[in-house]
Structure 1
């Protein structure tokens, strides 16, 4: 186990530009730096959605970890599986509207892949990758509500065209699983991943 004083000195790096993920970590008492991975997500393929998000999370963590000398690097990726198909960010407003017309009154499975890589002396010493899966039950918004939501621009910026921590929360009836993972990062999974490197989440608290 790393002494608490030294643990708080460890650089925690989030390999994601997602404001929601950064917010989650800050709310959990952590102070990550953001380093965007630059991974070409279209170049990564897998037969199952859960496998795909795990590969993407690992690729993002790896890309950033290779630039570090001493850090804990978190990589994440989320996709909504709806009727067997992976839904990332909509391509445009028309795509977002069509998705909501299809999803309304139904449920989908939100998969969040999460990787934690430990880097010491310029070498990756620990790689741990997991997937958090949550069932999301959608309400049935009216056409007017869908149009207003699409016009807000929010669904165009997020996987699955919805959020649980923004305007889209009004159109989610309930979730079964980890709500933080739906936002973009599983704090429960992070806790178990930190244990793999001899840390607890409390070791990294900055407040």
Structure 2
């Protein structure tokens, strides 16, 4: 039996590290899709939309394979924080997060390349399928499937709560100077030096890193990929 290629639509070192930890063979093919969304889009819908957009755009390059797309944002009050534009922007974000709680939303999508019936679902992050809930952390649903019932497009999201301790201006500036915050949503890395500022996490640590492993595992099982059966 041939092995279906697994493709990660991301260049993120954190996502590559997490997927590699599942002991699955995969290749990376970063998406260059536009990441703008309509103003007022709710955070959960936004990360689902962008994860699906990334996976779909990469899937278009292949005749077969399972493509994984993901997107992460930080939300503090009503401000949505992606990656900082520069060091001053990173300092501004961290000052906003200092001493407060915020939410981290991560979307993940799976698209089967070459799935004819999946094309119409590729641009929509919502669907009529029944949601599969992972406690109160997140959910995913099937957006399109083959005539035999095999899932071709799935998308979901998680939300976690992170509490930061108070950070001095000197700490913020020193942390930003390390360069760690500059490629991360919200300007911090939960798995790196940014961890020293975190007082409490409610939710999924791996989602905060950028890839909800528990949810992804269940979604991959639905399309016939199981790390415990991988060669």
TM-score (normalizing by structure 1): 0.89
2:157 is aligned to: 131
2:168 is aligned to: 142
Distance 1:178 1:162, change over 3 A: same
- Asked if residue 105 in structure 1 is aligned to residue 99 in structure 2, the reply is yes
Tell me, what secondary structure is at the counterpart of 1:41? coil
2:81 pairs with 64, 87, 100, which one? 87
Tell me, what secondary structure is at the counterpart of 2:229? helix
- CA separation in 2, counterparts of 1:120 and 1:90? 35
- CA separation in 2, counterparts of 1:89 and 1:99? 10
- Asked if residue 17 in structure 1 is aligned to residue 43 in structure 2, the reply is no
1:39 is aligned to: 33
2:132 is aligned to: none
Deviating beyond 3 angstroms after TM superposition, the runs of 4 or more aligned structure 1 residues are: 43-46, 120-125
Tell me, what secondary structure is at the counterpart of 2:36? helix
- CA separation in 2, counterparts of 1:23 and 1:199? 18
Superposed CA offset, 1:31-61 (max 9, x none): 2211011101125655201101100000000
Distance 1:178 1:129, change over 3 A: same
Q: What is the Cα deviation at residue 27 of structure 1?
A: 1.7
Distance 1:52 1:40, change over 3 A: same
Kindly indicate whether the alpha-carbon contact (under 8 Å) linking 1:134 and 1:178 is maintained by their aligned counterparts in 2. Answer: yes
From the two aligned structures, give the one with the greater helix fraction: 1
Gaps of 5+ in 2: 119-145, 147-151
2:138 is aligned to: none
1:156 is aligned to: 182
Q: What is the Cα deviation at residue 192 of structure 1?
A: 1.6
1:66 pairs with 40, 60, 65, which one? 60
1:175 pairs with 201, 223, 229, which one? 201
Gaps of 5+ in 1: none
2:70 is aligned to: 76
Q: What is the Cα deviation at residue 121 of structure 1?
A: 7.3
Kindly indicate whether the alpha-carbon contact (under 8 Å) linking 1:114 and 1:130 is maintained by their aligned counterparts in 2. Answer: yes
Q: What is the Cα deviation at residue 196 of structure 1?
A: 2.2
Kindly indicate whether the alpha-carbon contact (under 8 Å) linking 1:22 and 1:32 is maintained by their aligned counterparts in 2. Answer: no
Greater shift, 92-101 or 195-204, is seen at: 195-204
Give the total of aligned pairs: 199
